[in-house]
Amino acid sequence: MCGIIGYTGPLEASKILLEGLAGLEYRGYDSAGIALCMEDSKICLAKKTGKVKNLKDYCNQQITDSSHCGIGHTRWATHGGVTDTNAHPHQAGKVILIHNGIIENYHALTEEFHLENELISQTDSEVAARVLNRLYEGDPLAAIRKLIELLDGSFSFCIMFEDQPGAIYAIRNVSPLVAASTPSGSLIASDLTALIPYTRNYFVVPEQHIVKLTPYKVHLYQLDDTFTKTYPEMMTVNWNMDAAMKNGFPHFMLKEIHEQPDAMGNTILPRINKGLPDFSEDKIPDSIFETCSQVQIIACGTAMHAGMVARAIMQPVLRIPITVSVASEFRYEEPLIDEKSLVIIISQSGETIDTLAALRLAHQCKSTTLAVVNVKGSTIARESDYVFYTHAGPEIAVASTKAYSVQLAALYMIGCRMALVKGKYTKEQAVSFLGDLLDAIPAMETMIAQKESIGNAASHIIHSPDAFFIGRGLDYAFSLEGALKLKEISYIHSEAYAAGELKHGTIALISDQVPVIAIATQQHVYSKTISNIREVKARGAFIILLAKESAVVDDHLADICIRIPDVDDLFTVFPIAVVLQLIAYYASLKKHLDVDQPRNLAKSVTVE
């Protein structure tokens, strides 16, 4: 969603802001803008719909004078259409403001401050800028505090005041911000990719604090009566800029598919001790597994699909109820969880707003929370009782690939440890389970090596408006992710169905050449799935079958058969995930679409 960057220091601000915005492009956006504080203290605004490149070209033509302080923004429209006027920054009198989030009471504020005739955009953000301008009497901290007291919703703001040259102020409620003071100047951004070229040391802006950036200092103030100065907890980035570059790959998605075996190793290997899962470094105590009588898994999107696989793996072994919920639903339910529930929160970014709200609800219900998170220091990681960090490195493509695999690896390890602690697995069984998990890594490599032939299979679905993914049991859980991947980047309408459910309606949609991607890797339901495949085949479907190397497949059953290595049934998700990701990738590529930044989607969903 919206990306934020602010810079003040000795260097040319426009260059840093535009490069920073390019680094934030992956979050998903539809317009971009910058505001520069010029040498004469005048403000120069530039805003353009479309890609950051449009803004850059515009700035190159229009901005001739230099500036050393400015703020920049990529907008993902929520209130008001995609227009230059609705793009940020918004200027209201002396205030220049950019915003990520949603101001829920913007309408009431418009009326209260009689702003109807002043507003020039349709955005909630401009309302915040105009209210702040009314409250501003020369003291930025006091005005910002008054503004915050009036707002409902989630937000992070970066603000310049025309009469405070060289200074940038920022505040956040839920929506993330990171900041750093570096020898090249002071920076603030909505995520680390914009800071990494300048520093490895940063801090996460705490809620209920105002940050003030000056060229060589970053100050942090509490929101108390006297604005007490405080010192942030510094953090170090554990990946380098290379990890956020394409490194010769045509797209981030393809690069990230290739990175999966390494990411799996990074996540699993440091947590194996004498062949057993060991979370002592993560400070995750066994007591949370011993005492829990049910597990509630909560997440959104791909992370939720990882949860669906985990449930199918864990429940038969643990013999306790395991429920998977979509965070945006869970947060408005009256959930049946209590102090004996272990709530597992899964989030790549650690900032998804619905997932965060669900975590907070779990705490209200007194449940123990364990977060599986990729981004170090993210809000979900900080607010959870315990954190299991996955080590995927930065994931830039909107369609999640390596983050999914390592979420699965984390959940498999958690399930294994829980089974051991609860006496459902012997040590030998746990060692063998982890051995099978490690065997899944070369199986993923095998499938990555077959990317061209998988790409050829994708050619058969790109002309169809619809595609169906079917499977039973675990294969159904994999299908959900396959369908999501395909629809989000190829715009082919894709649905996943439990194969046995087709006859209850969906089979009416099967006709000549409709692609059906059938996953049949689970031995105990193999023959049943094959029967369901025959049923759709008989109605003219084009079958792409995903089966194990050793599976006996009738010659005439599938139009294309993609074989995965013979890993244990519980672990087929890993090579299957690679196949499904590659089908989606090549479908998007062959349709000449924007693989890494699909339309309307955002990487980090920080609004409800």
β-bridge pairing 43-49 and 3-8: unpaired
Measured from the CB atom, is 78 or 352 closer to ligand G6P?
Answer: 352
Minimal distance in Å, beta carbon 383 to ligand G6P? Answer: 14
Measured from the CB atom, is 400 or 532 closer to ligand G6P?
Answer: 400
| CA 306 – CA 310 distance, rounded (Å) | 6
Q: Which among 491, 492, 499 is positioned nearest to 514, based on CA atoms?
A: 492
Measured from the CB atom, is 479 or 532 closer to ligand G6P?
Answer: 479
Say how many Å lie between the first and final Cα of the chain, rounded: 11
Catalytic annotation, pick one of 376, 424, 537, 603 = 603
Residue closest to ligand G6P when measured from CB atoms: 301
Produce one character per residue of 481-513: b if its CB has 16 or more CB atoms within 10 Å, e if not.
Answer: bbbbbbbbbbbbebbbbbbbebeeeebeebeee
Q: Which among 286, 311, 306, 282 is positioned nearest to 296, based on CA atoms?
A: 311
Contacts of 269 (CB under 8 A, 6+ apart): none
| 319, burial (CB in 10 Å: exposed 0-12, middle 13-18, buried 19+) | exposed
**315 φ/ψ angles, rounded to the nearest 5 degrees:** -60, -45
336 token code pair:
């049946």
| CA 110 – CA 573 distance, rounded (Å) | 51
Contacts of 531 (CB under 8 A, 6+ apart): none
2 flagged as catalytic = yes
Inter-residue contact 272 to 278 (CB < 8 Å)? yes
Measured from the CB atom, is 25 or 569 closer to ligand G6P?
Answer: 25
Measured from the CB atom, is 14 or 400 closer to ligand G6P?
Answer: 400
| CA 49 – CA 97 distance, rounded (Å) | 18
Q: Which among 436, 469, 497, 415 is positioned nearest to 579, based on CA atoms?
A: 469
224 token code pair:
């108390």
Measured from the CB atom, is 347 or 581 closer to ligand G6P?
Answer: 347
| CA 533 – CA 547 distance, rounded (Å) | 12
Minimal distance in Å, beta carbon 309 to ligand G6P? Answer: 14
Q: Which residues bind ligand G6P (CB under 6 A)?
A: 300-303, 347-349, 352, 355, 398, 400, 601, 603-605
Minimal distance in Å, beta carbon 241 to ligand G6P? Answer: 21
| CA 394 – CA 239 distance, rounded (Å) | 8
Minimal distance in Å, beta carbon 395 to ligand G6P? Answer: 8
Which string of DSSP letters, residue by residue, matches 394-439? ---SSS-SHHHHHHHHHHHHHHHHHHHHTTSS-HHHHHHHHHHHHH
Minimal distance in Å, beta carbon 305 to ligand G6P? Answer: 8
Minimal distance in Å, beta carbon 560 to ligand G6P? Answer: 27
Measured from the CB atom, is 502 or 605 closer to ligand G6P?
Answer: 605
Measured from the CB atom, is 308 or 502 closer to ligand G6P?
Answer: 308
A 10 A CB-CB count for 145 gives: 18
Helices (H), 113-258: 124-135, 140-150, 252-258
Catalytic annotation, pick one of 2, 69, 292, 300 = 2
Inter-residue contact 271 to 402 (CB < 8 Å)? no
Measured from the CB atom, is 257 or 567 closer to ligand G6P?
Answer: 257
Minimal distance in Å, beta carbon 303 to ligand G6P? Answer: 4
Minimal distance in Å, beta carbon 356 to ligand G6P? Answer: 9
603 flagged as catalytic = yes
Minimal distance in Å, beta carbon 348 to ligand G6P? Answer: 3
Inter-residue contact 384 to 371 (CB < 8 Å)? yes
A 10 A CB-CB count for 550 gives: 8
Measured from the CB atom, is 300 or 545 closer to ligand G6P?
Answer: 300
Minimal distance in Å, beta carbon 116 to ligand G6P? Answer: 35
Contacts of 332 (CB under 8 A, 6+ apart): none
Q: Which amino acid is at 519?
A: I
DSSP β-bridge partners for residue 471: 498
Q: Which amino acids are annotated catalytic?
A: 2, 603
